[in-house]
Structure 1
Amino acid sequence: MTIYRFGEFELDPTQRRLSKGESVVRIGARAFDVLACLVANAGQTLSKDEIIKSVWPTTHVDEAALRVHMVALRKAIHDGTSPTCIVNIPGVGYKFAKPVSKTDHNIPAEAELPIRQTLPANHARLIGREEFINRSVELMDSARLLTITGPGGIGKTSAAIAIARALEGQFDQLFFLDLATLSSSDLVTSEIASSLGLSVFSADPLPGIIQSIGRSRALFVFDNCEHVIDVCATVIEQLLRLTPNAAFIATSREALRVVSENVRKLPSLAVPEADEVPDTIEAYAALELFHERLALVGGQGLRQPEDLPIAAEIVRRLDGIPLAIELAASRAAGLGLQNTASSLSNPINALRRGRRTAPPRQQTLKATLKWSYDLLLPEEQILLCHLSAFAGPFNIAAASALSPKSLGPETFEDALAGLISKSLISTTRRDGRMRLLEMTRAFAREQLEASGQMDACGLSHALWVIAELEHAKAEWRQMEKADWMNAHGDLIHDVRAALAWCCKSESRALCLQISAISHILWTQLGLMNEELQVVERAVRLMEEGTATDPLIEAQLRSAMGHVLFHVRGVTADDEAVRQFKIAGDIAEDLGDHVEIVRAHSGRCAVITTQGKYAEAVDVALRLEHKFGRMPGGASSRILAMNKHFLGEHEEMNRLCHLALEASSKTVGRTTTSGAGYDQRTVALMLMAKTAWIQGFGTRAIELAEEAVAEALNNDDAISTCLAIYVSAFPVYFGQNKLETARHLLDLLRELAIKHSISRSLFWADGFEPLFDEPSGNRQRLEAAFVGDTNGARLETVVVLAGKRSGSALVDWALESNAGWCRPELIRLKGELLRDEHPEEARRLFSAAIDASVAQGSPLWHLRAAKSLAASLGNTGRNEGQRLINAALATFPEPPPPCEMEEAEALLDA
């Protein structure tokens, strides 16, 4: 592993981590790849093609893509000193100019992998599996799907992890999915998307998964497929067909029955024949495992010759099943070998005879679990049963929270230590978190239900989940996203389990509370579609009459509005507004500023997309009058967005600076907005678009670049899309920088498909016809707006398309209260009438000039002046030249070349 250092920065390509001192530096994925390429070749000049080939090895992109991500990179590593780290050599390429030192470290095999989600560690040495693993690795050289089958406890997961580690060098990305925690097959694709870092805003995230994987070399381990096997088979079959370089390892008790599947049954460990006395421990893998496990828990293994025949009888009786052998070895450390063998004999045989319908090895494992459980101390049995409530990993504090009060602190500690030493609890994380193996958990839950303690334990678990969610919410502003996800991401499994228990036990109040406060977890994991199902059920319970704490209701209804806005798109806008309105009224009665901001900013986000800018401004002003300025600059952000669309440029700029100032004082992203936009991104993008309209073309490009760069570095798909479609794309396209505009549109579409953001895809579809040839374009433009409202999307596309929009779209856009582009819309109306109604056209051009002057918009002023000058013809040549010169005089800097070409032609005429 190589670590690079330059200035105050440290770059770890293996961990994909950039840090400055003790702080992690936020940087977009592509920008990180560009940096890694440049730093590894520090001092050398790399051509643009060389960098593009390194960063996009399987995708064709042009130089515009590199420029967009280079801006994000430079923003991330700017340290305020000169010279800059990255030097652009015109016509040649880029060079990393600062001194770079590197340090090579040897890392153990189980260390973190250079992937977005690591494999669990195999904490113990695998015994007796070398041939199976080696043959499987060889098989994967020519195959893309390997399914490892076998009964529970046979070691399928450990074998799959070992095979994946052996294949690590052949793949760029490696993902492990533990499907045992999923309560429904409907969650499989969402789990895959979440592991890829995608947000799931639709019922079918598969298109986004396919696009995210693309042609990259990715290896997926699907562990514990048996209870969701039909969906796993369907999904894997589609991914095999549509992602040509991806490969899959699945573990299941049965084959997936997928075309091109390679099925390998994992056998039991080799055991001695009946009455055979082996010469050495190493003669049989089952004996070797028994010895190693016994030595681990008891300090010594099979040391005496007379131990071997007894141990041979034990492992033979357990059919060579690794988990059963580990359980028996853990007990032998306390019982002794002979006593262990004697205690196994009758109970195991009796239990196996009682389960004739189950496969023989499954009978053996269940019988061994029952035998091991029966030998536990009473307090160990009680604790094991209660710990089965955890669906995901847990730490000592969590285990203590679920421990019955009757155990007491000391008894709890002894019982937990006993369960660990007897292999009934395994440690799966480097931070010491523990979990029950799925077979053990299922058995313990059966015992818990039989004991009559299921409801008491379920209640304790639900209360623990609530406390953990509150803790996660409090830490969101204090931790980097990656660290927060590592600390709290696995909590989602217990949230699902707690909600399932609440529904089953009809604990409606707890169900509502968990549904309300889990919003941040669903959002950060990208499981928005699943959250929609959760909050819809909760809202139904409320509306059926379930007594609800007002704050919980406000949180739930805001969450409902949030997910409706993003998941259902424009078809659910009215219902989203209704939910936000109810939430806002409740929050105002409570005086809870956080929920007031969340509800009303969410409501304003929806009505803004509908073109109701004045209404959104009224909402924000009323709240400021009633409560003062809202926390975190939220009211400034709402007002700025809608003042922009109303065309009040100076007020918008003032409000954006307020929002930027507020955002500079906060840690982490804003979490109060009902629509989830980053407020710095919003401020920067509005200032960029306004700068373009006010004649600051160069400044507009700089601000648009900064807005997109910040959103990319924050890994914020929603804000990145917003920055592109509201600002960056119009600024670039409007200045005829079509190459960059094309890349931004491609990036918008890519993010919209990957994260299933239908609203952003809607914008992308509206922009696409702008790149058509002028002839035959109008029908395609009109088709893009079927079923839409006359809001910002329509206004933006009409402005960018110009006369190609046609009368129907221009008239529709003029019906809105869009002040930001009204002078241009009036001009376009005149252009469409110029040939048939020249007098009316000239009247409209004059009105457009007056409106642009009143608004302080030199860009619209110049365009209207050119239209009027052209319509005056030779007879009005002097007046036309005066109009154009007057318009040019209002520009604070030279107008963009695309605007000057026609102006110069008219002046020359």
Structure 2
Amino acid sequence: MPSLSEPPSAVFQLGHARVNLRERVLLRNGEPVQVGARAYAILEALIEADGGLVTKHELLARAWPGVVVEENNLQVQLSKLRRALGDDRACIVTESGRGYRLLAARANERTRSEIANGPRNVPGNGDHPTPPAARLPNLPPPIGRDHAISSVLGALTCGRALTLIGSGGIGKTTLSMAVAQRFEAERGGHVMVIELAAMATADEVARAVKARLSAHGASGTSGNSGSLLLLDNAEHMIAAVADIVHRVLDDYPALHVLVTSREALAIDRETLMPVEPLAVPEREADEQTVRRQAAVQLFMKRVEATGRPVHGDPEEIGLIGEICRRLDGLPLAIELAAARVPTLGVEGVHRGLADQLTLLSRGFRTAMPRHRTLRATLDWSFALLDSRSRTLLRRLALFTRRFSIESLCAVACDATLPVSTVIDGIGELLAKSLVKVSFDGPIAHYRLSESTRAYALEHLLSAGEVKEVSARHARDLASRFRNQEAAGSGPALVTGEHPEDMLDDTRNAVDWAFSPDGDVRTGVELSSTLVSALLARAKLDECGRRAALALQARQALPEPAMPPAAAIRLKIALAAVLPNLEGPVERACELWREVHEHALRIEDDGLRARSYWGLWNAMLSSGKVSDARRYAEQFEQFARQKHCRWQHIFATTLAATAAHCAGDHHGAAATLEAVVQHVQAYPNDAAEIRQFAVDPLAVCYAGLARIRWLEGDVGEAARLASRSLDLIPAETMEPWFTHVLGVVAAPLALISGDRERARHYLSIMRSQTTLHRLTIWHEFGECLAAILLIHDGDVVRGLSRLERTLDSLLARGFRRLTSPLIVECAQALISVGRTSDALDRLQDAQAFCEINGSFYFMPEILRGRGLCAHAMSRTFDTDRPYDAHALTRAKACFTKAIAMAQSQGARMWELRATLDLIKLPLGDEEANEARNALSALANRFDACSAVPEVREMFALLASTQPSPALS
């Protein structure tokens, strides 16, 4: 096979050392020796001089093309080269003041001859037997590769040389074998498979190729369909394989060549086809969509092969989808993960992904050695890199997602790794499929797979570079954020970068900055931008934790530690999330006051508007309705003075909501309806308001739903509650989804008697609050669930749960809409004979509401006190069954509740108090008056209503004879 030759003088002998210039390999006593790229360039120049003198300037130009460096750098590289040659170091001779020359370099004629003419011995008759022909394994079709197989076969029809490129473990070999099977079955041609992984020299490759072609009788005219030569795993012999394939294509016109490699051959007539990962489900995909993804199907099939059944419940399927997503759809990683399921279970594998390289450490015994563990696969790739590319790869470990060339240089470059080297290095990593690239138009973004990143991070730790590289990473991010803010873009992630990429990188930088080896000042500065981004993405729990940590760390820094704006951003973030997380709510009030004072001091109108909204929300959450109303009115006045229409509409909405909480339902309803009309007419105003993460229509519909229920229009209330839920944006549902469920949808369903709907809402609320760690709203939902339990008849268990969660909620300073919870708790306490405890709770609630102007539920508190007085009036004395003074107090409470409800237009509260009044032992005249009042109320309600009190009213009226006053 004369065409399979290397050019002359490709292989040289230097004493005990052998150099292959084409493959860039140096062997000493038959063992490979690592030589850096610059040292190797010097060796090449000396060999090419064929014993002649090479000047220092020539060597510097060869090793550092286009770069001016000090002469001592040349001395360093020559020292490395001499160490690599060992006992043969004397081959490099120094001629003082002139340069260097290489002695005793001679071409290895035996090697060249064997490459050119094939082995001297036929297989089985010499020292170097040709490996036996590989047979096609009888494998089932690979999962998720049907389209890829067809594409490869089509490409082989159009061209004769195709290289499947991709990272280790991506499934190149599996795909190529499936292609070979189809090629053989459909085209009837010979398939010759050569596994290159175990071959170390071009000599071996050449012999193997010649032997396969000879064994199959391949020739230059071997039929119309031709034969297929499959060269598997060529990356470690890429130059030799490229030369051989080039010559084979010339000598065998009917032969097709399929190569698998982690980098391209870079020859003409080569078609490249990247092997993509298996399809993985999106994060929010439903169960059926998750099941359809190829990566998930592979995982489940491999688990079933272990004998462990896959339960297939939605939770387990969701975890499998997350596992496959975290493993980037990499088939090898997925198979290795599936192999651990019998031991760890699906949940255990999911938890173990934090340490992928350890978890994915047991593969099939039939796999190639480098594919038996994920670490072995990566070791194989890492060994093919030169030292500079290895350094670059490990420094890329700090990028959790995509990164730009600017970020790459800022983090990776230093005195040992200049920009030009980094640019070359990223090209090599791309060529060897260790880094992926994607494009947003002309802009390139790079990314490591999760497993490659974990491997690179291990090497970064081993090299002792974590502190230095992490510091550069953190400083670069901080600088870019500062520059963006100085340019007027505000505290946001860098424009032009993918937000989620920047978010993850900033998280990592902040984590390092607050570590023992970190930089606290940089951590606080980065946190101020990070928490703003987290808040905008409704990641409330993480936002709160990071803001609290940064504010605490800031206290230990000397003043001025950072620009005031950074501290204000941290305060805004923490204040915004505290009323949803664990509180205390009063801390949120304090923080918003500090923000407001700062806004007034620096005359920042945008910050001032934000502080008004924050103060209103914090005050309302703490039950301080009068303060909330005052700040809303100040906001209205401020917006009016600034002629800012959208801010004025927003402030008006807040003022109306506060008025509703103060008991002015009629006025609030009129204002909210006007706001709805305005926002529908001017949708741009609504868009401006949403920058505060609030939809004004959702707020209006929620308030109107409560008011309509109070007025007795239960059907309209339910419709408005649904409309409020419909307006919650899917991309940032929380905390507003839980908020609407908790303050409108679930309570209205519960007090309307629709227990199943209430149960459904509360189930969703429990799930959401647990998932997002919204502790305050979780406890609020648990209070409602406890009330539902009481309504179901399980008073003892429901009351125990209600008292526990209600007390925890109040201890956090959360008093928004807690009065109805207190009234329900009081009623349950009365039913189990704990009337004094009930009265204590009601008296505390009444005092708090009166001090803070919260009169929305005051009629209910008064009714509750009437129930306590009624319970206390019972003497169990047959002669005097009721205590007159207690009865008088009960009547007074019910009467006052009715009067206040009437003044508010709250017919539901009026109905409840009237029904309880009728249950007192009244005189005939008082009883008639109460029934007449009830009859008048009946005209305002639907007789078909499912609300328990409405049904009770109509049943009571139907059971009594008309009084003279009604005739």
Q: Does 1:613 align with 2:625?
A: yes
**TM-score, length basis structure 1:** 0.57
Deviations 1:12-34 (A, max 9, x none): xxxxxxxxxxxxxxxxxxxxxxx
1:754 maps to which residue?
771
Looking at structure 1, the residues matched to 954 and 411 of structure 2 have their Cα atoms a distance apart, in angstroms, of 79
User: 1:586 is matched with which residue: 578, 583, 598?
Assistant: 598
User: 2:662 is matched with which residue: 618, 643, 646?
Assistant: 646
Looking at structure 1, the residues matched to 907 and 801 of structure 2 have their Cα atoms a distance apart, in angstroms, of 31
Distance 1:730 1:174, change over 3 A: same
Please state how far the C-alpha of 1:762 moved relative to its aligned partner: 0.6
Looking at structure 1, the residues matched to 351 and 423 of structure 2 have their Cα atoms a distance apart, in angstroms, of 45
2:776 and 2:809 in contact (8 A); partners too: no
1:885 maps to which residue?
935
Deviations 1:495-523 (A, max 9, x none): 03433565588766543332112224334
1:550 and 1:586 in contact (8 A); partners too: no
Deviations 1:302-349 (A, max 9, x none): xxxxxxxxxxxxxxxxx997667667xxxxxxxxxxxxxxxxxxxxxx
Distance 1:680 1:419, change over 3 A: farther
Looking at structure 2, the residues matched to 775 and 450 of structure 1 have their Cα atoms a distance apart, in angstroms, of 59
1:175 and 1:219 in contact (8 A); partners too: no
Q: Does 1:832 align with 2:868?
A: yes
Q: Does 1:568 align with 2:617?
A: no
1:423 maps to which residue?
432
Looking at structure 2, the residues matched to 867 and 598 of structure 1 have their Cα atoms a distance apart, in angstroms, of 45
Helix, strand or coil at the partner of 1:172: helix
Looking at structure 2, the residues matched to 718 and 600 of structure 1 have their Cα atoms a distance apart, in angstroms, of 19
Looking at structure 2, the residues matched to 518 and 472 of structure 1 have their Cα atoms a distance apart, in angstroms, of 18
Q: Which runs of 5+ in 1 are unaligned?
A: 1-104, 111-119, 134-152, 178-209, 226-232, 257-261, 272-284, 287-318, 328-364
Looking at structure 2, the residues matched to 270 and 506 of structure 1 have their Cα atoms a distance apart, in angstroms, of 40
Deviations 1:527-563 (A, max 9, x none): 5444444323422343233423222221111112234
Looking at structure 2, the residues matched to 550 and 717 of structure 1 have their Cα atoms a distance apart, in angstroms, of 29
Distance 1:109 1:797, change over 3 A: farther
1:869 and 1:906 in contact (8 A); partners too: no
User: 1:126 is matched with which residue: 171, 193, 207?
Assistant: 171
1:849 maps to which residue?
898
The 10-residue stretch of structure 1 (827-836 or 643-652) with the greater mean CA deviation from structure 2: 827-836
The 10-residue stretch of structure 1 (746-755 or 830-839) with the greater mean CA deviation from structure 2: 830-839
Looking at structure 2, the residues matched to 610 and 444 of structure 1 have their Cα atoms a distance apart, in angstroms, of 49
2:411 and 2:469 in contact (8 A); partners too: no
User: 1:489 is matched with which residue: 479, 491, 500?
Assistant: 500
2:901 and 2:907 in contact (8 A); partners too: yes
Superposed, 1:767-782 pairs within 5 Å as 767-770=784-787, 771-772=789-790, 773=793, 776=796, 778=799, 780-782=801-803
1:823 maps to which residue?
859
Q: Does 1:795 align with 2:815?
A: no
User: 2:712 is matched with which residue: 688, 691, 695?
Assistant: 695
2:526 maps to which residue?
514
Looking at structure 1, the residues matched to 702 and 467 of structure 2 have their Cα atoms a distance apart, in angstroms, of 61
Please state how far the C-alpha of 1:241 moved relative to its aligned partner: 6.6
1:644 and 1:820 in contact (8 A); partners too: yes
1:176 and 1:220 in contact (8 A); partners too: no
Q: Does 1:172 align with 2:284?
A: no
Amino acid at match of 1:643: A
Distance 1:671 1:270, change over 3 A: same
Amino acid at match of 1:861: E
Looking at structure 2, the residues matched to 713 and 689 of structure 1 have their Cα atoms a distance apart, in angstroms, of 24
Looking at structure 2, the residues matched to 667 and 709 of structure 1 have their Cα atoms a distance apart, in angstroms, of 15
2:221 maps to which residue?
none
Amino acid at match of 1:495: T
1:637 and 1:655 in contact (8 A); partners too: yes
Amino acid at match of 2:889: E
Q: Which runs of 5+ in 2 are unaligned?
A: 1-143, 150-164, 179-234, 237-260, 263-273, 282-286, 297-311, 329-336, 830-837, 874-882, 962-967
2:167 and 2:434 in contact (8 A); partners too: no
2:567 maps to which residue?
553
1:121 and 1:429 in contact (8 A); partners too: no
Helix, strand or coil at the partner of 1:736: coil
The 10-residue stretch of structure 1 (415-424 or 824-833) with the greater mean CA deviation from structure 2: 415-424
Looking at structure 2, the residues matched to 253 and 245 of structure 1 have their Cα atoms a distance apart, in angstroms, of 12
2:413 and 2:419 in contact (8 A); partners too: no
Distance 1:444 1:734, change over 3 A: closer
Helix, strand or coil at the partner of 1:489: helix
1:350 maps to which residue?
none
Distance 1:239 1:607, change over 3 A: farther
Larger Cα Rg: Structure 1 or Structure 2? 2
1:752 and 1:758 in contact (8 A); partners too: yes
Please state how far the C-alpha of 1:689 moved relative to its aligned partner: 0.8
Amino acid at match of 2:403: F
User: 2:828 is matched with which residue: 798, 801, 804?
Assistant: 804
Please state how far the C-alpha of 1:703 moved relative to its aligned partner: 0.6
Distance 1:433 1:733, change over 3 A: same
The 10-residue stretch of structure 1 (628-637 or 612-621) with the greater mean CA deviation from structure 2: 628-637
Distance 1:320 1:395, change over 3 A: closer
2:395 and 2:411 in contact (8 A); partners too: yes
User: 1:860 is matched with which residue: 890, 893, 909?
Assistant: 909
1:637 and 1:659 in contact (8 A); partners too: yes
Please state how far the C-alpha of 1:723 moved relative to its aligned partner: 1.0
1:401 and 1:464 in contact (8 A); partners too: no
Amino acid at match of 1:843: A
Looking at structure 1, the residues matched to 756 and 891 of structure 2 have their Cα atoms a distance apart, in angstroms, of 35
Amino acid at match of 2:747: P
Q: Does 1:254 align with 2:268?
A: no
2:166 and 2:275 in contact (8 A); partners too: no
1:332 maps to which residue?
none
1:263 maps to which residue?
362
Amino acid at match of 1:254: T
Deviations 1:407-431 (A, max 9, x none): 9x99799747744565386225575
Looking at structure 2, the residues matched to 807 and 567 of structure 1 have their Cα atoms a distance apart, in angstroms, of 30
Helix, strand or coil at the partner of 1:711: coil
Amino acid at match of 2:750: F
Looking at structure 1, the residues matched to 703 and 596 of structure 2 have their Cα atoms a distance apart, in angstroms, of 26
Please state how far the C-alpha of 1:597 moved relative to its aligned partner: 3.8
Distance 1:392 1:108, change over 3 A: same
Please state how far the C-alpha of 1:751 moved relative to its aligned partner: 1.5
Q: Does 1:213 align with 2:315?
A: yes
Distance 1:712 1:668, change over 3 A: same
2:216 maps to which residue?
none
Please state how far the C-alpha of 1:525 moved relative to its aligned partner: 6.0
Distance 1:443 1:860, change over 3 A: closer
Distance 1:662 1:404, change over 3 A: farther
Helix, strand or coil at the partner of 1:218: helix
Superposed, 1:278-293 pairs within 5 Å as none
Helix, strand or coil at the partner of 1:618: helix
1:535 and 1:556 in contact (8 A); partners too: yes
User: 1:459 is matched with which residue: 463, 475, 495?
Assistant: 475
Distance 1:731 1:270, change over 3 A: closer
Q: RMSD of the alignment, in Å?
A: 5.6
